[in-house]
Amino acid sequence: MLNLIRCEFFKLRRKSLLRGLLGLSALLPLLLVLYELPNQRGMTGLTEAYKAGRFDYYCQCLCVYAFVLLMPCLVGVLSCFLFFMERDNDTFKNLRTVPVSAGQLVLAKVMTMLLLELLFSTLIFGFLALFFSLFGIGALTHGLSMFLMFQVCGLLLFAVSLPVVVLVVLFNGSTLISLLLSFFCSILGWASILFLSQLAAGNPRWKLLFPLHPTLCTMQWSSWFFSNLADRTQMMQMDLFLPGTGHTLLLDAGVAAVSLALVLHYYKRWTR
């Protein structure tokens, strides 16, 4: 399996994907710094507690907005490269001469995407911490906790983004169509959260659907689990939807398991 994953990375070396991933992970924290820096220049007597709070706040913003919006796009782009290379280069016959099953190939591609997602999570947190330290915007008081939040939240949102891979393999169209599907899924996922929240604001019965939305559960759970005691108390007073750890993990694992089974099914069908 390690050799298969290594081969997938060798294939991606031909692309400018890693440089694009590096640039994207640096761009988002830089935009947040450029937004926050003018606000603090007009303030005096900034305490370390305030700076630590700003760093934690922007970490949560990146986990929620960047991962929820970008993760389906990232997974879609990676799946296009990894699943379409053999088809476009007509190398399926070469793969069949090697005693490697379709399941092993699918698992290797998904593990490659997972490793790149963890790299993206690490880079985006590292650049945020670097920029906040260089410009003196935030104190890294809870740096380790926020780093763990990035990794856990990124891993869970990667799991719930795997249905994008199902669509890419199912339609087996051009790379452009698959990329458009990925962007559509990203927008649709975010819009579904906003739409469901608006419905629940008018009629509380719609809140019964909250536990069935894996992305919403992941967002709310991560915001709760990695918050301090004061923030948790405030969240409880606001009567927010706070799913349990077991419920969130089982829901995300279920989405990932079903998605992988469908990917394997459709991958076998169009690689015969």
pLDDT tens digits for range 180-190: 878 888 888 88
Q: What confidence score (pLDDT) does residue 14 get?
A: 66
Domain that holds residue 119: 2-36+44-270
The end-to-end CA distance of the chain, in Å, is 22
Q: In angstroms, rounded to a whole number, what is the distance separating the alpha carbons of residues 72 and 105?
A: 21
Q: Is the pLDDT of residue 201 over 90?
A: no
Q: Is the pLDDT of residue 40 over 90?
A: no
Distances (CA, A) of 112 to 17, 75, 152, 229, 270: 13, 11, 17, 37, 21
Q: What confidence score (pLDDT) does residue 185 get?
A: 83
Q: How many domains does the chain have?
A: 1
Average pLDDT, the chain: 80
Q: What confidence score (pLDDT) does residue 44 get?
A: 59
Q: Is the pLDDT of residue 2 over 80?
A: no
* Residue 48's pLDDT band (cuts 50, 70, 90): low
Contact 69, 161 (CB under 8 A): no
Distances (CA, A) of 115 to 2, 78, 129, 154: 12, 11, 21, 11
pLDDT tens, position by position, 210-243: 899 999 899 888 888 887 777 777 777 776 788 8
Q: What confidence score (pLDDT) does residue 160 get?
A: 92
Contacts of 181 (CB under 8 A, 6+ apart): 76, 164, 167, 168, 171
Q: Is the pLDDT of residue 45 over 80?
A: no
Q: In angstroms, rounded to a whole number, what is the distance separating the alpha carbons of residues 122 and 111?
A: 16
Give the least confident one: 121-125, 136-140, 241-245.
136-140
Q: Return the structure tokens found at 90.
A: 């007509």
